[in-house]
Structure 1
Amino acid sequence: MDEDPPPVEPELVYPQNDVVTVEVGKRAELKCIAYVGLGEDSDTLMYWTVDGTDSEEHEELKESRQFTPEKDRVFGLSILSISKVHRRFLNVPIKCTVSSSVASKFGWVLLQEADHSAFYASVALCLAASLTILVLASAFLFFKVEVVLAYRKLSRHFSKQAPDGKLYDGYVSFLHPDTLSSDEMATFALQILPEELEKKHGYSLYIRGRDDCPGEAVPDVIASTMRQCRRLIIILSPEAKSSADNKTEEESLLCNQSQLGYEQKIGIHDALTQNDLQVILVEIGGPVDYSCLPESLHYIKKKQGALKWRKASLGTQKLTTLRSNRNFWKNLRYHMPSLPAARHQTIV
């Protein structure tokens, strides 16, 4: 006749005074594992208490248990199911006790609310970084001209520009005086523009009517000189007309009916086909009707816009005009090439 194995002192495997992270308001499950002896003993009990009170007193709690033999040893597993974690379950001892006829052992668990501060901090940091980038990008777009000009001023002292073989920073193309409007253009091109760009900022300009020599072959001089320039500045006014009226640009170029048209076609051809010459459009005296100008000018206007220079008059407020023209000169310098430090120091 087989005898029952003698009772032994139980051993609690888990929990051993542990801390479990839970989400308030959500479901949770706690496990208790114990060695109960060599065989299942009817006197062996496993139960849970919450802060000294029986788990059955809480409707959110439900216990289940089972005993499993494993290599001549018996282990007990008790599961405490919490349907909804309330704050009253937090930071109080939830004790699992295993009791036999020999002894009792227990271990407890503390529930702690999950700390989302790191997650919230990372989200806040990402939002702050995104907002900062957005603000900086907006600020850069708004102050782009000032930033680029300041960068050029600083970089002159720390870097050297490799020579590109160009003699002039800009070729100035404008309609020579025969009307009141073209006379205003000539004043701007021959006096105001060089006063600001050459004398104040050290740029080197080639201006037809000032720098060309009498008797030169106009087409050859225009072509060779323009290829020695870094920018083509085209000055337009509301009275500007196509150099060839109803003719195509090709016919106008072949006929060479206008110095202005030839200058513009050579420069725009290089700008559009060779990417070697950047065109800067300057409007003076009011809006320009591009429908009566060569298609290439219309394309450049649509692609990059035009700078507008306002002449102070009795009908305009002086402060507004000064502010507008101050922005005009900043934008023009922005579109002009950067000056090397050596040339800039000669005007200081």
Structure 2
Amino acid sequence: MSEPNNEKIRTACGSPLNKSCRVHVPGSGFQTVVVSWWRQKEGEDELISFTASDRVHQASRTKKVENGEELEQLLHFTKVNEEDFSSTYVCRVSSDKGQLNGNFTLQQPDPDLRAHSALVFVVLVLLFTMGTATFTLLKIDMALWCRGTFPHLYPKPGADGKAYDAYVVYPGMCAAGSSGQNEGQSRGEVFALHTLPLVLEKHCGYKLFIYGRDSLPGEAMVDSIRENITKSSHFLLLYTASTFCKRGGAGGMARTDGHLLFAQQMGVHCALVEETLRVLLVELEEVTDYSAFPESLLHLRRKQGALQWWRLGGAGGGAGEMQLRPSSRFWKQVRYHMPPRGRSEAYLEKEGTLLNV
């Protein structure tokens, strides 16, 4: 007997199956050899039907070969059912010289690992995407909550040796109230001199240096800017669409705000070259043309982005209700980039009262 050889055959439920029992009978002349298929289940043997119309049946074929006969008993499953997997199929060969047995069992195929792997991969990608999106949306709230809940994990105010939390640079910082200011300059001054101190200093406890407000009368501009920038841990640069545009001066000569440009250049230099200062860009109004902006400032904006007051805070830099709430979206972003200071961050999140102007 060449087959079956006590083997296990994997097949899917519902599929057809053929299995042969091959027996070589050597010699010549008439020999009585009986080949048949039996089903063995729970210790009982059952002869499989020879009727071709049955779902499981057997048929025989005989072929003469050079040195004897080749007998083949074919077992045919029209459709494999679930019950077929619990049986053993035995091919029995009987003759006057003895008996041979060979068998096989049916097993269901292994699960498609490729399909399972693809499903697992898709689930992991979805979880990663959802986790990343959730973290992006909630990272600021989580950071502010941690500051308020575990304040001992963060450095105490002044631990870095800096006198100010931020040095504020804004449009028109040296010409407040002059008649030549445009609307963009007035917006910058209102935000820098009123809105910013009201929220960050009065309510959040930060200490800001605002040129024109905190500088000493008669003090040299260059020395004052250089000295107080080095005393600050952050650099708040407020700008509008026209901040870095040249404006016509006396005699038609072009002029720019020299104080602002010098402070901007020094602050960006400390941030990009010396890495001793962290810059926060605050865009007070929508800017569509950046052609007049310094290249260093554009590089910084591409690298870290800008906080858009006009989009998140409100147009005009005024003192509307939501514009003055530390728990509003814009001020959350500012507080996130600033060091932990003043009142508990958790308290600021819960407080719903409007600041008094």
**TM-score surpassing 0.5?**
yes
Q: Does 1:232 align with 2:235?
A: yes
Q: What are the superposed Cα offsets for residues 27-64 of structure 1, whole Å, 9 maximum, x if unpaired? A: 97869799x9xxxx965655435673368958998989
**Structure 1 position 222, deviation (Å):** 1.5
Decide whether aligned partners of structure 1 residues 27 and 157 sit closer, same or farther in structure 2, where only a CA change above 3 A counts: farther
- Does the C-alpha gap of structure 1 residues 313 and 22 become closer, same or farther in structure 2, counting only changes over 3 Å? closer
Contact 2:147 2:345 in 1 (8 A): no
Q: Residue 10 of structure 2: which of 18, 21, 28 is its match?
A: 21
Aligned pair partner of 1:165 in 145, 152, 161: 161
AA aligned to 1:48 is W
Q: Tell me: CA distance 1:196–1:119, structure 2 relative to 1, closer, same or farther (3 Å).
A: same
**1:129 equivalent in alignment to 2:124:** yes
1:195 is aligned to: 198
Shift of 1:265: 0.7
Q: After TM superposition, list the pairs within 5 Å mapping 1:1-348 onto structure 2.
A: 15=6, 20-23=9-12, 46-49=35-38, 52-53=47-48, 57=52, 86-88=79-81, 90-91=84-85, 92-101=87-96, 104=99, 106=101, 108-116=103-111, 123-158=118-153, 163-174=159-170, 175-176=172-173, 177=176, 178=178, 179=181, 181=183, 182-242=185-245, 258-287=258-287, 289-310=289-310, 326-336=328-338, 338-339=339-340, 344=343
Residues 55 and 133 of structure 1: CA distance in aligned 2, closer, same or farther (over 3 Å)? farther
Report how far residue 219 of structure 1 moved: 1.4
Query: Any idea what SS the aligned residue of 1:99 has?
Result: strand
Secondary structure (helix, strand or coil) at the match of 1:292 reads: coil
C-alpha RMSD over aligned residues: 5.0
Deviation (angstroms), 1:189: 1.0
TM-aligned CA deviation for residue 225 of structure 1: 1.9
- 8 Å CA contact 1:229–1:277 kept in 2: the answer is yes
TM-score (norm 2): 0.65
Unmatched runs of 5 consecutive residues or more in structure 2: 40-45, 63-69, 348-357
For 2:137, give the aligned amino acid. Answer: F
Distance 1:171 1:319, change over 3 A: closer
| Inter-partner Cα distance in structure 1 for 2:207 and 2:323 | 26
The structural deviation recorded for 1:208 is 1.2
**C-alpha deviations, 1:272-325, integer Å up to 9, x for none?**
2223323222222553743333332233334443323248679x9x799789x9
CA gap 1:13/1:261 in 2 versus in 1, 3 angstroms = closer
TM-score scaled by structure 1? Answer: 0.66
Q: Which secondary structure state, in structure 2, belongs to the residue aligned with residue 94 of structure 1?
A: strand
Q: Deviations over 1:313-338 (max 9, x none)?
A: 79x9x799789x932212222332x3
In structure 2, distance between residues paired with 1:77 and 1:270: 94
Aligned partners of 1:331, 1:306: CA distance in 2, in Å?
10
Residues in 2 aligned to 1:297 and 1:290: alpha-carbon distance in whole angstroms: 10
- 1:130–1:155 CA distance, 2 compared to 1 (3 A): farther
1:72 matched residue in structure 2: none
Deviations 1:86-115, CA, capped at 9 Å, x for gaps = 324933542221323365464643313225
What is the rounded CA distance, in whole Å, between the counterparts of 1:61 and 1:214 in structure 2? 112
Q: Given that residues 23 and 85 in structure 1 are in contact (C-alpha distance below 8 angstroms), is that contact kept between their aligned partners in structure 2?
A: no
Partner Cα distance (1:297, 1:305) in 2: 10
Matched residues in 2 for 1:152 and 1:33: separation?
Answer: 80
Paired residue type of 2:294: P
CA contact (8 A) 2:56 2:78 kept: no
Counterparts of 1:85 and 1:211, CA distance in 2:
95
- The amino acid that maps onto 1:195 is L
**294-303 or 260-269, larger mean C-alpha shift:** 294-303
Identical-pair percentage: 27
- Does the CA contact (< 8 Å) of 1:199 and 1:347 recur in 2? no
The alpha carbon displacement at 1:77 in A equals: 12
* 1:95–1:107 contact (8 Å) kept in structure 2: yes
- What amino acid is the match of 2:226? A
Contact 2:166 2:234 in 1 (8 A): yes
* CA distance 1:298–1:30, shift in 2 (3 Å): same
Count of residue pairs the alignment pairs up: 311
Distance 1:245 1:43 in 2: 121
Q: 1:293 to 1:244 in 2, by over 3 A?
A: farther
Aligned-partner SS, 2:160: coil
8 Å Cα contact 1:283/1:308 also seen in 2 = yes
